[in-house]
A and B are shown apart, each in its own frame.
Chain A
Amino acid sequence: AQGGIATQEGIPKEIRLLGVRDHTGPVAYAGIGGARGGELAISEINRSGYLGKGVKLTIEEVDTAGSIETASAEMAQATADRTVHAIMGPTQGQQAATVAPMVERAQVPTIFTQAGSDGVVINDYTYRATAPMESYYHLATDYLAEKRLRDVSVLYNATFPTFAEIGDGPLPKQAAARGLNIVSSTPVQMTTQDFTTPVRSIAGKDPDAVVMLLTEPQSVTALTQLRQAGYDGQVIATSVQGGGNLKEAGRHGKGVIYPTDFSPALTSRKARDFVAAFEKRFGQLPDVYAAEGYDGMWWLARAIKASGSASRDGIKRGLQEVAKDGFEGAMGELTFAGGDMRVPGVLVRWNGTREELVSGGAS
């Protein structure tokens, strides 16, 4: 590769990006979703001549295959490649936290999606296009308070960083602030497969609602077994259950409500356009990962435009500048806390076949 390209100021004809994320392995869906959202955004950006006539964004994807090792190895290669202007970073929190110091050393601006743990957005080169779940999870407690569902049981995966963070901290606090009464809090671990026992004791308490912070297969099982244990109250879940992950729970999944940063049920024009374009291109509804990838890519494009330079430094400056004012994306009015995105969030209900809007989502 010819050296120095990505450090030249100004906007060249080709702006080369690299997507470094999981395309295989247990959380491949997040990487694949993000890549597809980004791909859609790039095609829109290029087609519309948003960055100037004939200016093309191109992206190449490499697979981190679910491993921190591979992620940092790929990232080392990506950052050493002087033709790369920016990187769309890993989706797994730990991969992201590991590569964060690397991108600073190499001074390559990197936008993560997902990557919901601490230690990711830690310097001038790390940005994240996913709002932390706890920043909009109050939608759930608001809803419970509004519906007077006072007594709440919490069932959460306490060894999964994102859920551990919510389950141990914000959730009890938000609940207390809204006069909710947490009657039981049941931590389980990543390897828990069968929920008969915890679900049994929850059903025994018969709370008004159950807040369930679990991974996809866990949530299907827990829901099924919760219903079989005779519990028929409201279940509140998370965006992890979005994107049709509750389908396998069949009738037991019906009526589950969860806050999410994006839903195809959103009604803003931006959201509807995104959903339509995505469906046309990929033949299916976009999930949260796709929306984040899409908005993240637009953040980048706006950044280049704002600073008038696609150099690594220019992009970095642009990202900060765009973050100051925020912009409207598929996920709604986007604001930023430093390099970290914030969304209005939306509360949806799974009706057995798709998501329905419950509240929020106004833009």
Chain B
Amino acid sequence: MTDWYFSHIVLVQSTLTTLLLALSVQVPLRAGVFSFAGVGCYGIGGYLAAIGMVHYGLSTASAILLAAAAGGIAAYALGLLIQRLTGLYLAMATVAFTLIIAVVVVNGGDLTGSAAGLFGALGTLDTGHLLAVVAVVVVALTFTEIGPLGRRVEAVREDPELASAMGIDVARYRRATFAVSGVLGGLSGSMTVLLRSTVTPDDINFHLVVLALTIIIVGGSRSWIGAFVGTVIFVWMPEVLAFVGEWEDVVYGVLVAAAAVYLPGGVTGAAMDGYRRYRRKRREAQSSPDAPPPQPAAAAAGGDR
């Protein structure tokens, strides 16, 4: 077990940091904000942590705090700037934001290490720290998924106008998701960098955007559990698929496409549907077997008055 743990420590840790990145895209998406600003903040956080540590000798904890705060502020400011945008227009603007950050760090001279990036930013993080951070994040997010707040978030996503007619300050919710996604991105970026000690402009690219999106759609976009399932799938897939060798990418492509076709709500959605069907079956089995075909209210509707 410990052998296994030590040889897979990088995968375990990157599962946790990638989860935070995926959540940074999922949180706004859940409120109907199609924003990839979190990925940009991943870059901001990663670079700030590395700069803080390499150039200014910051401690690991303060580098991460700085990164999270900066990510949150940057994303919040971006959110203020582009609050009139919606849908794919907003997505495009945030992708642009992310890619511009990549260009800025390439041209950042010694501060950012230019094209080569920075190295030697090895923090003192361990898996325990990561777990603690992720646990706090997950618990906090759970509250936004259930109960009244969950319903409101859903209303903001599905029908903002209806939401505001229900007394919900839609703009405030949107700005909040920006800030949260920035913090999550900053956390993810800084912790990734401090674990692996290097950061390069290449780390902030469109593929990361695509990866984050793929994770949450394949995993399930409605709750952190979906993000977690997706993260596990995509972080561990190369390991699991190693046996197919050079066909790994082909198999990867087929699996992703198949998930898109056959799993409407992602893996978690499919699991929940299965569970619901199972429950219904059981309920039906329990209700008296000789009764006429189940009358799940709907069919009886016409005359139940």
Contact present between A and B (CB < 8 A): yes
CB-based contact B248/A165 at 8 Å: no
CB-based contact B10/A72 at 8 Å: yes
B1 to nearest A CB, angstroms? 13
User: Which of A81, A98, A165: most chain B Cβ within 10 A?
Assistant: A98
Knowing A70-B238, A161-B115 touch, does A98 contact B196 (C-beta < 8 A)?
yes
Docked Cα-Cα span, A206 to B115, in Å, equals 29
B200 proximal to A (CB < 8 A): yes
B117 proximal to A (CB < 8 A): yes
Knowing A63-B248, A70-B238 touch, does A80 contact B116 (C-beta < 8 A)?
no
User: Which of B103, B196, B239: most chain A Cβ within 10 A?
Assistant: B196
A65 proximal to B (CB < 8 A): yes
Interface set, chain B 175-208, CB cutoff 8 A to A: 196-198, 200-203
CB-based contact A65/B238 at 8 Å: yes
Minimum CB distance partner of B18 in chain A: A69
Docked Cα-Cα span, A24 to B248, in Å, equals 9
CB-based contact B106/A24 at 8 Å: no
In this complex, the interface size class of chain A, counting residues with CB under 8 Å from chain B, is 20 to 34
CB-based contact A94/B202 at 8 Å: yes
In this complex, the interface size class of chain B, counting residues with CB under 8 Å from chain A, is 20 to 34
CB-based contact B116/A62 at 8 Å: no
Interface set, chain A 64-111, CB cutoff 8 A to B: 65, 67-70, 72-73, 75-77, 80-81, 93-94, 97-98, 100-101
Q: Hey, which chain A residues are within 8 Å of B280, CB to CB? A: none
Q: Hey, which chain B residues are within 8 Å of A160, CB to CB? A: 115
Over the window 101-123 of chain B, the binary record of Cβ atoms lying under 8 Å from chain A Cβ atoms (1 yes, 0 no) is 00100100000001111011010
Docked Cα-Cα span, A119 to B7, in Å, equals 24
B8 proximal to A (CB < 8 A): yes
Minimum CB distance partner of B246 in chain A: A24
Q: Hey, which chain B residues are within 8 Å of A359, CB to CB? A: none
Docked Cα-Cα span, A161 to B116, in Å, equals 5
CB-based contact A63/B242 at 8 Å: yes
B56 proximal to A (CB < 8 A): no
Q: Hey, which chain A residues are within 8 Å of B200, CB to CB? A: 94
B249 proximal to A (CB < 8 A): yes
Minimum CB distance partner of B195 in chain A: A72
User: Which of B238, B248, B249: most chain A Cβ within 10 A?
Assistant: B238
Identify which of A68, A73, A117 contacts B116 (C-beta below 8 A): A117
CB-based contact B8/A77 at 8 Å: yes
Q: Hey, which chain A residues are within 8 Å of B202, CB to CB? A: 94
Interface set, chain A 185-214, CB cutoff 8 A to B: 189
B58 proximal to A (CB < 8 A): no
Docked Cα-Cα span, A65 to B248, in Å, equals 9
A309 to nearest B CB, angstroms? 25
Q: Hey, which chain B residues are within 8 Å of A24, CB to CB? A: 246, 248-249
CB-based contact A63/B106 at 8 Å: no
A23 proximal to B (CB < 8 A): yes
A118 proximal to B (CB < 8 A): yes
A35 proximal to B (CB < 8 A): no
A290 proximal to B (CB < 8 A): no
B3 proximal to A (CB < 8 A): yes
Interface set, chain B 1-43, CB cutoff 8 A to A: 3, 6-11, 14
Interface set, chain B 114-134, CB cutoff 8 A to A: 114-117, 119-120, 122
List 15 interface pairs A-B (beta carbons < 8 Å), by A numbering. Answer: A24-B249, A63-B246, A65-B248, A68-B196, A70-B238, A72-B14, A73-B14, A77-B7, A77-B8, A94-B198, A94-B202, A97-B198, A98-B197, A118-B116, A160-B115
Top 6 closest pairs, chain A to chain B, by CB:
A119-B119, A80-B7, A161-B116, A76-B10, A164-B115, A73-B10
